Amino acid sequence: MSTIERTPGIAPGRLGPHDYAANFADIAPRFDAHEARVAADRCYFCHDAPCMTACPTAIDIPLFIRQIATGTPEAAARTIFSQNILGGICARVCPTEQLCEEVCVREVAEGKPVEIGRLQRFATDSLMAAGVHPFTRAKATGKRIAVVGAGPAGLAAAHRLAMKGHDVVIHDARPKAGGLNEYGIASYKAPDDFAQAEVDWLLKIGGITVTTGRALGQGLTLDELRRDFDAVVLAIGLGGVNALRAAGEGLANVLDAVDFIAGLRQSGDKATLPIGRDVVVIGGGMTAVDAAVQSKLLGAETVTIVYRRGQEKMSASRDEQDHAASVGVRIIHNAAPVRVIGNGAVAEVEFAYTEDGPAGLVLKPETFRLKADQVMKAIGQTLAGAPGGLVIDGAKIAVTGAGRTSLPGVWAAGDCAAGGDDLTVTAVAEGRDAAEDIHASLIG
C-alpha cells in the first residue's frame, strides 16, 4: 500500500468539524413514506419492462414499485432481495442512470425517469430497519463450500448457498468482510457503517462462517480447499493496480486511488487524513471520480482528473462526472501522463495531449504540466495472485456458463471472472448464479 509522505503541502485538518460532517453526509437521503409513494406513482408498471431487462440481477422492478405504491414496502424488499441480496448497497452505488433508469419509459418520453434506485433503497432499508431477514435455510445438505473473497460476489454466492442448505466458509484477506462495499466506494454514498450493517444482516440466514486475514497464498491454497470442500468459489476481485508507465512514478506522494479510498473509509476521524493542496487524479472511472471528489471534500484547494481519452469513453457515468464538477473538480480529457516531476516527492506532472484514432491512442508532441503535491492512480486494476492451473482470459479467470473455471469443482465470480462489467450489481448476479450452478451440480 502506498504511503503519504508529510510535506509542507500535505496536511490533515484543513477544514472545521462541521465541514467534514456536512461534506460526507449521505448524498441521497432515503425517501420518507410520502415521498416514496409519490415517486412510485410515476411508474407505468410496464408489462414488458425495459428497466427489468436492463438490471443485471433481473429484479422485477414494476412489481416492487407497485408494492411500494400500495403501502407494502416490506413486500417490495422481498421482491428485490429474492434477486439481489445486496439490494441495499446496490441502491446506493449502482449506476442506475446507465442501467434501469436510462431505459425507463418516463426517461425516454419526458427526460425524467422514475427514481428506481431511491425507491429500491426505501424498500430495502424498511425491511432491514425492522431487523427482519426474509429467507430461511433449507434442510441441511451436508455439503460444504468454500468462498474466497467476502466482497459482493462472494457474499451473494454464500447467501444463496446457505439458503439452499449448504454450509459455507468465507475466507477474506482483510480485517472486515464487504470487499469494495466496505473499502472501495465513496464514504458519502454509504455512511453510518452501512456496508457492515448489511453484512451482519445477510449473515442472519445462518450456515455461513467468515474468517478474515486469510487469502490464497496467505494461509490458503486452492489444492487444500478443493480437497476439504465440496466446491470452491473464487471471488477474489482485482488486487493489483496498473502502473502509470511514466518516469518518476516512484516519487513520494504518488499513490493508488484504491488505497486512498480504503484509508478514508476506515478512518474514524476525517480530520486526521492528510490531503494535498493540489491533487491530480489519473483515470476515468468511478474510482477516479470517488478519489477526486473526496479529495476536494477533505479540503484540497485544486483537484484535477486527467483522462487519456474523450469524455464519451469515461466509464464513470455523466451523473458522477457532473457531481465531481459541482464540487469543484476539473476534468481534462485527451491527455496522458508522460513524466512525474519532483525532488523526492512529486511537485508536477507532465502530460501529453492524445489522439484516439483508428490506430489506437497516439501521444501528440504538445505537452503541459500540472502542479501536484499528491497524485492518485486510478487507471484500472489487475488480477493478482491467481492460483496455478486456472485458464486466464485476458487478465481475468476464464469461465464458462455460470462461473465454471477450467478446474473441476471451482467456480469464479465478480471482478476476477472474465466477461462481466466491474459493477457491484454484476458481481452480485454472478455470485448468485454461480451458487445456483453449484447447487445443481452437487444435488443433481
Q: What is the CATH number of the domain that holds 256?
A: 3.50.50.60
In a domain, 2, yes or no: no
Least confident range from 36-45, 113-122, 144-153, 414-423: namely 414-423
Amino acid letter, 92 = R
pTM: 0.94
With a CB cutoff of 8 Å and minimum separation 6, the contacts of 342 are 248, 251, 252, 348
- Is there a contact between 257 and 180 (Cβ–Cβ < 8 Å)? no
Q: Tell me whether residue 438 is in a domain.
A: yes
Give me the sheet containing 144-148, strands edge to edge: 208-212, 167-172, 144-148, 231-234, 410-412
Whole-angstrom distance, CA of residue 348 vs CA of residue 286: 24
Reference 77, options 128, 35, 113, 31; nearest CA is 128
362, 380, 398 - which closes a domain: 380
Distance CA 74, CA 125 (A): 9
Residue 63 reports pLDDT greater than 90: yes
Residue 51 has pLDDT above 90, yes or no: yes
Q: Is residue 134 part of a domain?
A: no
Average pLDDT over residues 401-420: 95
Give the pLDDT confidence of 122-154 residue by residue, as tens digits.
999 999 999 889 999 999 999 999 999 999 999
| pLDDT tens per residue across span 277-303 | 999 999 999 999 999 999 999 999 999
pLDDT at 4: 54
pLDDT above 90 covers what percent of the chain?
Answer: 89
Contact status, residue 278 vs residue 373, Cβ threshold 8 Å: yes
- pLDDT, greater one: 357 or 314: 314
Burial (Cβ within 10 Å: 0-12, 13-18, ≥19) of residue 381: buried
Query: Are 246 and 374 contained in the same domain?
Result: yes
Tell me which residue range forms the domain holding 312. 10-25+241-380
Q: Are 134 and 127 a contacting pair, CB within 8 Å?
A: yes
Would 1 be classed as within a structural domain? no
Residue 303, beta-bridge partner list: 279, 329
Chain mean pLDDT for the chain: 94
For residue 91, pLDDT over 90 is answered with yes
Residue 80 identity (one-letter amino acid): I
Residue 5: per-residue pLDDT: 52
* Burial (CB count within 10 angstroms: exposed 0-12, middle 13-18, buried 19+), residue 159: buried
Residue 436: the pLDDT is: 98
Which residue reads 468454500 in cell numbers? 146
Same domain membership, residue 266 and residue 373 = yes
Residues 354 and 408 both lie in one domain: no
**Whole-number pLDDT of residue 1:** 42
Residue 202 lies in a domain: yes
Considering the domain architecture, whether residues 260 and 365 belong to the same structural domain is answered as yes
If one compares 5 and 131, the residue with the highest pLDDT of the two is 131
- The residue among 96, 129, 162 that closes a domain is 129
pLDDT surpasses 80 at 195: yes
* CA dihedral sign of residues 48, 53, 58, 62: negative
Res. 386: pLDDT tops 80: no
54 and 123 share one domain: yes
In a domain, 135, yes or no: no
Pairing of strands 381-382, 240-241: antiparallel
- Tell me, yes or no, whether 262 and 330 share the same domain: yes
pLDDT reading at 439 higher than 80: yes
Number of domains in the chain: 3
Q: What's the whole-number mean pLDDT along residues 93-120?
A: 95
Q: Which of 40-44, 138-142, 282-286, 356-360 has the lowest mean pLDDT?
A: 356-360
* Whether the Cβ atoms of residue 304 and residue 332 lie closer than 8 Å to each other: yes
Q: Examine the domain organization and report whether 116 and 167 are in the same domain.
A: no
**Is 4 within a domain?**
no
